[in-house]
């Protein structure tokens, strides 16, 4: 119970700071539209006419938002490590897990704030998606965001120095993006690439999102949900053990 | 009267790429409730490491410690509930405001009325006008006041202050000393502070632990430490034209209480004494009565360097 309360206290304080940073918030909100407007027209031409391109593209953008938004969450931890803030929390009688969870919930909520306008604009552009499926996808993306943000914190805490953080995230996020089929379908490439892509948890989550958008609650959707939940649990476990180990 | 802190054989060895670093070795001491203790030592002596161990940030590699009745190893949460730490480098988020940080701390410690507590602390530490300022825009002295307010908001029984006045100008330092003295007046509070300056330890501490290369090399009250190594020195640049008058005046100064020796080199008088400030008026009056002009006056106290030199045979500047 007390850990839950701790989590809420950290979440509330972090969220207040994030919402006050208007510039970062504005960039975060505009970014998805830029993708949508730049890539959308190309995509409508590239895909077979029978397929609604937005049903393919908007789920991809959602995941990309999750990947790059929360993937860099650890960046915000770096000044807090450097300023001694993280150690100050460690000296307080606060659950170690709460220090991590409070931040993760904030990151996930901000991701949600970015995702909703993206979905709305998708509808305006002619995306014929099942509303319940979209809602389920949104929850799925938020769970994924928790997992990815936690991994990002693991990098921020675990790397030997802070200069490695940006290159490390980039070199992980870009292959993960390409191998998930966010922009281009991976199953049209060579077999080895397809095989590699099957090791990428994001691929299952993306397939599930696309299925849910069409209103299908099938095995693809179920597998994707299971993968997202597993990813979140494993990442939070690694993250909180790192937070704890650094402290006693 | 129970003790607030006891340590026994406390030690920390860091494993680094270039080999082990023994930051703290075999540290055994006791701090009574309501005592103000100074950890004194040069850069790298192990002051910060000691405080980090006692505040649960660093696992000791040897020994045991109890803080406010809680065992460091077995009850770290109990320790955290009873302590406040003001770290050498502070601990505020750069973009958070003064009020944000105090509120968060009050909430984390489950204080009953966080808003009111934050306001009270801001008033006490003259931060009210800075309440909405991001902490990264504060000056060094303002930031130190905030650090202190954050570390004290939950009224901890044991307070660790790691170089609270480093890099502060004399007025800010005096102000901070005032806050620390106020803690001393509270019956239920124990303070451990680290410093490089003997005068600071002298002004604030009941007892001083001197660390060198991770080892405790002396433990005493500031007054006795200074006594052990002697003297304040008053240096006066005087118009000593008449040798006879000069000799007579020197003799009467030497007869004043607390004076140890008086020497003259040309126009310069060097008076070795205890408690220079207490003596100053009488020295000046004696010179005045003898009709001797003064052109300059300087008071020097034994420094940490002098204490070190006396205790270890090397100065603080000679680091490992
Ligand atoms: N994390 C660490 N890894 C390796 N060595 C360390 C670590 N932390 C401290 N040390 C070493 O331990 C020794 C004691 O350091 P400590 O910071 O406790 O000294 P200090 O007395 O606080 O010095 P200062 O007055 O400069 O703050 C130093 O030699 C330091 O280099
Ligand atoms: Mg230090």
- pLDDT tens-digit map of B152-173: 999 999 999 999 998 888 888 8
Closest residue by Cα to atom 6, ligand 1, is B14
B114-124 and B140-152 are packed helices; what angle lies between their axes, rounded to 10 degrees? Answer: 140
Q: Which atom of ligand 1 is nearest to the CA of B21?
A: 5
B222-229 and B304-312 are packed helices; what angle lies between their axes, rounded to 10 degrees? Answer: 70
pLDDT the model gives residue B317: 57
Residues of chain B with CATH 3.30.70.100: 231-301
Chain A, chain B: beta-carbon pairs less than 8 Å apart: 67
pLDDT the model gives residue A38: 82
- Residue for token digits 């992980």? A172
Q: Testing the interface with B: which of A79, A84, A99, A247 to mutate, by most B Cβ within 10 A?
A: A84
Q: For B216-275, what is each residue's pLDDT tens digit? A: 998 988 878 777 766 788 999 988 888 888 889 999 999 998 888 888 888 888 898 888
Instruction: For residues B66 and B72, give the distance between their C-alpha atoms in angstroms, rounded to a whole number.
Output: 6
- Residue for token digits 């509330």? A12
pLDDT the model gives residue B319: 46
Q: What residues in chain B have their Cβ under 8 A from chain A's Cβ atoms?
A: 55-59, 76-77, 80-81, 83, 85, 87, 89-96, 100, 103-105, 107-109, 150
- Span B81-85, average pLDDT: 95
Closest residue by Cα to atom 11, ligand 1, is B23
- Span B73-89, average pLDDT: 93
Residues of chain B with CATH 3.40.50.300: 3-222
| Ligand 1 pocket, mutate which of B49, B194, B317 (most atoms under 8 A from CB) | B49
Report which secondary-structure segment, H or E, holds B244.
helix B243-254
Q: Indicate the DSSP class of residue B133.
A: S
Which segments of chain B are extended strands (E)?
A: 3-16, 19-32, 36-40, 62-67, 70-71, 83-86, 158-162, 190-195, 207-212, 215-220, 232-238, 259-265, 268-273, 294-300
Q: For B54-63, what is each residue's pLDDT tens digit? A: 999 999 999 9
Rounded to a whole number, what is the distance in Å from the CA of A6 to chain B's nearest CA?
Answer: 7
User: Which class does domain B231-301 fall in?
Assistant: alpha beta
Q: Are A227 and A201 a contacting pair, CB within 8 Å?
A: yes
* Ligand 2 geometric centre to CA of B193 (Å): 11
- Residues in chain B with CB shorter than 8 Å from the CB of A6 are 108
User: Is the predicted pLDDT of residue B29 greater than 80, yes or no?
Assistant: yes
Compute the C-alpha angle A27/A33/A37, nearest 5°: 140
Q: Are A225 and A231 a contacting pair, CB within 8 Å?
A: no
pLDDT the model gives residue B320: 43
**For residue B197, what pLDDT band results from cuts at 50, 70 and 90?**
confident
Mean of the per-residue pLDDT values of chain A: 89
Q: For A92-150, what is each residue's pLDDT tens digit? A: 999 889 999 999 999 999 999 999 989 998 898 888 899 999 999 999 999 999 999 99
Check A9 against B109: CB less than 8 A apart.
no
- Span A79-84, average pLDDT: 92
Check A79 against B94: CB less than 8 A apart.
yes
Q: For B96-125, what is each residue's pLDDT tens digit? A: 999 999 999 999 999 999 999 999 999 999
User: Is the predicted pLDDT of residue A176 greater than 70, yes or no?
Assistant: yes
Check A247 against B56: CB less than 8 A apart.
yes
Secondary structure class of A137 (helix, strand, coil): helix
pLDDT the model gives residue B315: 61
Check A85 against B89: CB less than 8 A apart.
no
CATH of B3-222, one of 3.40.50.300, 1.10.10.10, 3.40.50.920, 1.10.10.350: 3.40.50.300
Q: For A8-28, what is each residue's pLDDT tens digit? A: 999 999 999 999 988 988 888
Instruction: For residues A138 and A143, give the distance between their C-alpha atoms in angstroms, rounded to a whole number.
Output: 9
- Ranked by mean pLDDT, which of A48-62, B50-64, B165-179, B186-200 comes out on top? B50-64
pLDDT the model gives residue A47: 66
Q: Are B287 and B294 a contacting pair, CB within 8 Å?
A: yes
User: Is the predicted pLDDT of residue B302 greater than 90, yes or no?
Assistant: no
- Residues in chain B with CB shorter than 8 Å from the CB of A87 are 57, 87, 91
Which ligand sits nearest to residue B209's alpha carbon?
1
Q: Helices H, strands E: what count in chain A? A: 11, 0
Instruction: For residues A46 and B250, give the distance between their C-alpha atoms in angstroms, rounded to a whole number.
Output: 103
């Amino acid at each position: 119970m007390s850990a839950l309360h701790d989590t809420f206290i950290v979440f509330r304080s972090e969220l207040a700071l994030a919402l006050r940073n208007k510039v970062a918030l504005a960039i975060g909100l505009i970014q998805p539209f830029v993708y949508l407007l730049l890539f959308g027209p190309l995509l409508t031409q590239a895909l077979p006419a029978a397929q609604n391109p937005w049903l393919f593209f908007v789920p991809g953008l959602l995941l990309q938002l999750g990947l790059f938004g929360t993937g860099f969450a650890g960046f915000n931890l770096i000044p807090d490590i450097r300023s001694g803030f993280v150690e100050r929390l460690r000296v307080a009688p606060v659950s170690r897990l709460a220090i991590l969870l409070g931040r993760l919930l904030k990151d996930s909520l901000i991701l949600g704030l970015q995702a909703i306008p993206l979905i709305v604009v998708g509808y305006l552009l002619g995306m014929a998606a099942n509303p319940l499926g979209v809602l389920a996808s949104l929850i799925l993306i938020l769970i994924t965001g928790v997992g990815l943000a936690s991994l990002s914190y693991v990098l921020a805490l675990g790397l030997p120095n802070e200069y490695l953080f940006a290159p490390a995230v980039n070199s992980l996020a870009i292959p993960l993006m390409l191998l998930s089929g966010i922009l281009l379908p991976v199953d049209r490439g060579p077999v080895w690439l397809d095989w590699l892509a099957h090791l990428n948890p994001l691929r299952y989550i993306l397939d599930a999102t696309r299925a849910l958008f069409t209103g299908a609650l099938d095995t693809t959707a179920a597998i994707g949900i299971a993968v997202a939940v597993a990813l979140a649990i494993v990442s939070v476990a690694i993250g909180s053990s790192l937070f704890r180990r650094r402290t006693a | 009267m129970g003790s607030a802190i006891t340590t026994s054989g406390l030690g920390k060895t860091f494993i680094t790429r270039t080999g082990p670093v023994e930051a703290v070795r075999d540290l055994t001491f006791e701090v009574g409730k309501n005592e103000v203790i100074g950890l004194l030592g040069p850069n790298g002596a192990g002051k910060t490491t000691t405080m980090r161990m006692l505040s649960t940030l660093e696992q000791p590699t040897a020994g045991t410690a109890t803080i406010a009745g809680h065992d460091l190893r077995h009850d770290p949460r109990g320790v955290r509930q009873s302590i406040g730490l003001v770290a050498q480098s502070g601990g505020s988020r750069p973009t958070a405001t003064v009020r944000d940080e105090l509120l968060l701390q009050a909430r984390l410690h489950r204080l009953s009325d966080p808003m009111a507590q934050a306001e009270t602390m801001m008033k006490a530490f003259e931060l009210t006008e800075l309440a909405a300022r991001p902490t990264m825009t504060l000056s060094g002295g303002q930031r130190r006041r905030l650090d202190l307010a954050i570390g004290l908001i939950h009224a901890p029984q044991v307070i660790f202050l790691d170089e609270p006045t480093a890099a502060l100008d004399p007025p800010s330092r005096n102000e901070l000393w005032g806050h620390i003295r106020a803690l001393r007046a509270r019956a239920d509070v124990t303070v451990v502070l680290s410093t490089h300056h003997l005068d600071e330890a002298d002004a604030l501490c009941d007892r001083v632990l001197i660390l060198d290369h991770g080892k405790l090399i002396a433990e005493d009250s500031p007054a006795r430490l200074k006594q052990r190594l002697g003297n304040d020195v008053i240096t006066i640049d005087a118009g000593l034209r008449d040798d006879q008058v000069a000799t007579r005046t020197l003799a009467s100064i030497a007869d004043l209480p607390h004076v140890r020796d008086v020497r003259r080199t040309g126009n310069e008088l060097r008076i070795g004494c205890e408690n220079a400030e207490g003596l100053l008026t009488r020295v000046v009056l004696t010179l005045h009565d003898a009709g001797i002009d003064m052109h300059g006056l300087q008071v020097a106290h034994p420094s940490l360097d002098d204490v070190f030199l006396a205790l270890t045979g090397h100065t603080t500047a000679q680091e490992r």
